[in-house]
Amino acid sequence: MRAMCNEAYTTGLCPTVDSYVLAICEDDGATCTVCGSEVEPVSRRLRGGR
């Protein structure tokens, strides 16, 4: 697992949770932080940090 402060985040619609969730941005999409499913990003990337 990578350090949380170095992650880029977005908001996405998760089909498993059936809700908008915080997602970790990846090169080929985004992953739900709740269940790990691939999500459709709906907002710009946000940089994590302190």
pLDDT at 2 over 80: no
Residue 1 reports pLDDT greater than 90: no
Q: Say what the pLDDT of residue 42 is.
A: 81
The closest of 13, 12, 18 to 45, measured between CA atoms, is 12
What's the pLDDT tens digit per position in 4-40? 445 688 888 999 999 999 999 887 888 999 999 999 8
Q: pLDDT value at position 19?
A: 93
Select from 13, 14, 3 the least CA-distant residue to 37: 14
Amino acid identity, position 19: S
CA 26 to mean position of chain CA atoms? 8
| Positive/negative CA dihedral, 16, 18, 24, 28 | positive
Reduce the secondary structure of 2-22 to three states and give it as a string.
Answer: CCHHHCEEEEEEECCCCEEEE
Return the higher-pLDDT residue of 47 and 2: 47
